[in-house]
Structure formats: structure tokens, C-alpha cells
Amino acid sequence: MGRRRAAMAALLAFVLLTAAAIVVSGSRPGLQQGAAPVVLQVAGHLAALVGGVLLLGAARTAGVVVLGAVAVLVTVELVTWATGTGGGANIGAGLVRLVALVAVAVVTVRLAPTVLAPRRRP
């Protein structure tokens, strides 16, 4: 149960850091983004990576889904950055990013009842 709790905490950190990156990015004009949204998003991806690795030992399928989603998210970010198209300029990349985020959200929601359930004392 300890790995699942730690994985859940890491996935929740991913959600919070991703939301913070979106808010910070949306609050600044396009040419004045700065490094803050990127730093927040990288920290979020690292948290999701940790959560996925922890889930490999506790819930293998969920761990593979999270790690696959992180790989997709990182690839989309790198392609977007390399092409210089910006976050909102490519609707296909946005859709792929959304699907990966939903995959992580589904794993997090399905993991929550097992982690948050009260423990039975023998």
C-alpha cells in the first residue's frame, strides 16, 4: 500500500504542477512567457514519471499507462519546442496532449479508492 500512496501523491503533484504551468502560461503574453511555465511542466513530468515507476511495482498496468502517457507528453513538448509552433498553434498536438492527460487522470481516479479507503485493523 505504501507504493500506491506514494504514486498517488506523485500523480497529484503532476496534476497540480500541470495546472500551475497552464495558469502561469495563460497569464502572460506569448512573447513574455519566461521559464516559469517550462520549469513547472518539467517538474510535473518528473512527478508523473516517479508515480509511473512506483506503480510498476504495485499496479503494473497502471504504471505502464502512466509511463506511456509521460513519454507521449514529453515527445509532444519536445516537438512543439523544436518546431517553434508554440503550445496552441498545433491542434493535433493539443489533442494528443489532451488524450495523454486524460489517461493519467483516469489512472489517478481509479487508484484513489484503493489508496483513500480506510484501513482495516485485524
Q: What is the pLDDT of residues 66-82, one digit of tens each?
A: 999 999 999 988 887 77
What's the number of domains the chain is made of? Answer: 1
- Please indicate, yes or no, whether the overall pTM of this predicted structure exceeds 0.85: no
Q: What is the structure's pLDDT at 121?
A: 60
For 97, the domain range is 1-26+35-115
In a domain, 121, yes or no: no
Contact between 48 and 69 under an 8 Å Cβ cutoff? The reply is yes
- Biggest distance spanned by C-alpha atoms of the chain: 60
Round to whole Å and give the CA distance between 15 and 9.
10
In a domain, 42, yes or no: yes
In a domain, 71, yes or no: yes
Query: How many other CB atoms are found less than 10 A from the CB of residue 26?
Result: 11
Average pLDDT of adjacent 10-residue blocks, the chain of 122 residues: 83 91 76 77 93 86 92 88 65 86 90 74 60
